[in-house]
């Protein structure tokens, strides 16, 4: 076989191998992203043909800025993301170190238990959490009552409902992030710690001067993934609160689905969806740029 | 001092095992309780009277059996398709050189982070315009390939030695033969973990089937479960709902336990790289 024919054969193979995956991704991911933007410039009910769309320009976006529903959903989403980030990230770092460093039996069991929450269908386990949170019949209120604490009404109180969903999210996802931390820890060579010990650094000193700085990439990645996962929370809201009570748990993804599929306002739903995408891109950009700048600064020093 | 540290660590280990498992425990005992016991406030932490009746009722309340099979079909076909498409695309991105390759690859990888809600409306429109609303194919089609699988496979195929592939080419093996008979057998652990990831993801996927399906005979099990919940919100039926939740969770739990080690390792492999 000549070089020329093998080259042509390989080009044919490349096209054949790539096209199934690329067809799906282009048709069902790339095209829909563009369509989301296009639809967001129109008034349209999803259940009518595209020809019945009417042009609105940026009108839907202008409406969003004055829409109490959207602003409420945006605020709820932000609060939810903050609740999740400030708890899961430190917790995952602490648990990762706990399940990596000590020489103790049961590490494997603990890792498996922690990670198991991630594989169970959200719908199934959210139903269980609904029962755990139940005011009279639930174990949580009972346990708090036993130690003399007046239990909040959890999901039925607008003050605590969003927080309760956040607690569920933290319970469900922390195991996954912990495994990522453990993966990061395995990449730190032992001699770094040895050197620190010779310099007289104790446990806390090692944690803050060696472990955490060397885990920065992992941590950044976890912050990003955790934010993306929290921003799109839908299943538990749909199952447990339907956005209530008093709209206190209406987050963006729920508002988008409701506007499009229940209220027939696909244009406005798409404006929300595209805004969400822009926010995500901006957040990812900032986080990644910050990471790059830090890495560059370290390289120079 | 040492002893306090050890005791604290042991306590923390205990919590790390108990806290994740407690809701599972609650799911199981609630499924085993009878209606009278469920109506007790405060609740009992161990069923005083174990009954399996809820596991029969769940199949009468909604078509739970066919929903279970629907999930097997949907998750099974999607997983198979993801394995095949990911190996092929991963091979190209790992072993072929062409202009724009890295740009294309990273564009694909970026879609991994796209929340499905962003494109839900046009996706619904596209699939129903193709005449596939409320069909099995409509549920599966948009998910028959994904960026995560391609990314994972590229990472693993990149480690396959170049000489092996060159040697096969010199022996006159076609590119297809190289992919399926030389490269794929070397990917066993990676394929197992991708299969598990995909299966768990498609089994649990809720938003898309909820949006595209109308008839209950096509519902996957998580959708049947949410329907079951809306029929039986009263606490005395909680055993039925919990039995449903348990049945819906069993496949993912079994798959996870069978391949737990590979699963956790593969996260280490893909979670953070570079």
Please tell me which residue, B233 or B9, carries the higher pLDDT value: B9
Among A25, A142, A260, beta carbon nearest to B120: A260
Which residue of chain B has the CA closest to A267? B121
Distance from CA of B63 to the nearest CA of A (A): 17
Q: How far apart are CA B150 and CA B107, in angstroms?
A: 12
Q: Kindly report the nearest CA distance between residue A102 and chain B, in angstroms.
A: 8
Dist. CA A179–CA B80, nearest whole Å: 26
CB contacts of A214 in chain B (<8 Å) are none
Q: Considering only alpha carbons, which residue of chain B is nearest residue A30?
A: B111
Is the confidence at residue B73, as pLDDT, over 90? Answer: yes
What pLDDT sits at residue B274?
30
pLDDT in tens, B151-180: 999 999 999 999 999 999 999 999 999 999
pLDDT of amino acid B273: 34
CATH 1.10.3720.10 is right for the domain spanning A57-300: yes
- Domains of chain A, by residue range, sit at 57-300
- Predicted local distance difference test score (pLDDT) of residue B3: 85
Kindly state the tokens that stand for A183. 């993966």
- Residues of chain B with Cβ-Cβ distance to A14 below 8 Å are 92, 96, 98
CA gap B81, B69 in Å, rounded: 18
Check residue A156 and report its DSSP letter: G
Q: What is the pLDDT of residue B117?
A: 96
At B191, the pLDDT band (50, 70, 90 cuts) reads very high
pLDDT at A4: 53
Buried b vs exposed e over A69-96: b needs ≥16 C-beta within 10 Å?
Answer: bbebbbebbeebbebbbebbbeebbebb
**Minimum CA–CA partner of B145 in chain A:** A21
Q: Which of B13, B85, B117 sits opposite A20 (nearest CB)?
A: B85
Q: What is the mean pLDDT of chain B?
A: 91
Distance from CA of B55 to the nearest CA of A (A): 15
Q: Hey, what CATH class is B62-271 in?
A: mainly alpha
Closest CA to A231 of A169, A172, A160, A178: A169
A42 beta partners: A55
Report DSSP letters for A83-103, one per residue. HHHHHHHHHHHHHHHHTTSS-
Contact A137 B200 (CB under 8 A): no
Residue B185 has pLDDT above 60, yes or no: yes
* B209-243 exposure pattern, b = at least 16 Cβ within 10 A, e = fewer: bbbbbeeeebbbbbbbbbbbbeebeebebbbbbbb
Nearest CA in chain A to B85: A21
Rounded to a whole number of angstroms, the distance from the CA of B188 to the nearest CA of chain A is: 20
- Residue B110 C-alpha, separation from nearest chain A C-alpha, in angstroms: 10
d(CA A293, CA A175): 29
Structure tokens at B45: 């932490």
DSSP state of B232: -
Which among A14, A17, A110 has the least Cβ separation from residue B17? A110
Q: How far is CA B146 from the centre of its chain?
A: 13
**Tokens 């790059």 map to which residue?**
A292
The three-state DSSP-derived secondary structure of B192-221 is HHHHHHHHHHHHHCCHHHHHHCCCHHHCCH
CB within 8 Å of A240: residues ≥ 6 apart: A126, A129, A130, A155, A165, A168
Select from A36, A87, A112, A128 the residue whose CB has the most chain B CBs within 10 Å, as the one to mutate to test that interface.
Answer: A128
User: Do A29 and B111 make contact, defined as CB atoms within 8 angstroms?
Assistant: yes
* pLDDT band with cut points at 50, 70 and 90 for residue B133: very high
Phi, psi of A43 (to 5 degrees): -95, 130
Task: Please tell me which residue of chain B has the smallest CA distance to A23.
Answer: B145
Of B30, B1, B2, give the one whose Cα is nearest residue A127. B30
| H/E element, B144 | none
Spell out, as residue ranges, where chain A has pLDDT lower than 50: 1
Q: Where are the domains of chain B?
A: 62-271
Q: According to the model, what pLDDT value does residue A249 have? A: 97
């Amino acid at each position: 076989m000549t070089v020329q024919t093998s080259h042509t054969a390989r080009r044919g193979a490349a096209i054949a191998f790539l096209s199934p995956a690329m067809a799906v991704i282009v048709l069902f991911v790339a095209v829909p992203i563009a369509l989301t933007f296009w639809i967001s410039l129109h008034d349209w009910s999803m259940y009518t043909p595209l020809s019945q769309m009417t042009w609105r320009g940026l009108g839907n976006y202008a409406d969003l800025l004055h829409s109490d529903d959207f602003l409420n959903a945006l605020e709820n989403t932000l609060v939810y993301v903050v609740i999740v980030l400030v708890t899961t990230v430190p917790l995952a770092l602490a648990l990762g170190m706990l399940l990596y460093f000590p020489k103790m039996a049961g590490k494997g069991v603990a890792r498996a238990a922690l990670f198991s929450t991630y594989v169970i269908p959200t719908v199934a386990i959210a139903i269980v959490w609904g029962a755990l949170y139940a005011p009279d019949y639930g174990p949580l209120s009972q346990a708090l009552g036993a130690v003399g604490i007046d239990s909040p009404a959890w999901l039925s109180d607008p003050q605590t409902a969003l927080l309760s969903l956040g607690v569920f999210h933290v319970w469900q996802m922390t195991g996954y992030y912990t495994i990522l931390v453990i993966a990061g820890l395995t990449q730190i060579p032992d001699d770094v710690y040895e050197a620190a010990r010779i310099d007289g650094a104790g446990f806390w000193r090692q944690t803050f001067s060696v472990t955490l700085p060397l885990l920065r990439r992992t941590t950044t990645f976890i912050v990003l993934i955790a934010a993306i996962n929290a921003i799109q929370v839908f299943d538990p809201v749909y199952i447990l609160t339907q956005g209530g009570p008093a709209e206190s748990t209406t987050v963006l993804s729920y508002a988008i689905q409701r506007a499009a599929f229940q209220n027939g306002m696909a244009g406005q739903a798409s404006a929300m969806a595209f805004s969400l995408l822009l926010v995500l891109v901006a957040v990812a950009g900032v986080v990644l740029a910050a990471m790059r700048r830090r890495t560059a600064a370290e390289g120079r020093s | 001092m040492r002893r306090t540290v050890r005791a604290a660590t042991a306590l923390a280990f205990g919590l790390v095992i108990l806290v994740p498992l407690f809701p599972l425990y609650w799911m199981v005992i609630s499924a085993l309780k009878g209606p009278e016991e469920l109506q007790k406030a405060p609740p009992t932490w161990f069923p005083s009277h174990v009954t399996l009746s809820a596991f029969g009722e769940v199949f009468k309340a909604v078509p739970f059996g066919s929903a279970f099979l629907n999930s097997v079909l949907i998750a099974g076909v999607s997983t198979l398709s993801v394995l095949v498409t990911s190996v092929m695309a991963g091979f190209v991105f790992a072993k072929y050189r062409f202009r724009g390759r890295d740009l294309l690859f990273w564009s694909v990888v970026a879609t991994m982070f796209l929340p499905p809600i962003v494109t839900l409306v046009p996706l619904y429109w596209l699939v129903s315009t193709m005449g596939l609303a409320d069909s099995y194919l409509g549920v599966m089609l948009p998910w028959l390939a994904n960026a995560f699988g391609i990314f994972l496979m590229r990472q693993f195929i990149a480690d396959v030695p170049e000489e092996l592939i060159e040697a096969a080419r010199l022996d006159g093996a076609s590119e297809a033969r190289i992919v399926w008979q030389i490269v794929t057998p070397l990917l066993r652990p990676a394929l197992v973990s991708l299969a598990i990831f995909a299966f768990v993801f498609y089994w649990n996927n809720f938003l898309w089937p909820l949006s595209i399906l109308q008839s209950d005979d096509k519902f996957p099990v998580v959708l049947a479960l949410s329907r079951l919940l809306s029929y039986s919100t009263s606490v005395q039926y909680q055993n039925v709902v919990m039995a449903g939740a348990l049945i819906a969770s069993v496949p993912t739990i079994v798959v996870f336990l069978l391949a737990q080690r590979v699963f956790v390792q593969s996260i280490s492999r893909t979670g953070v790289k570079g």
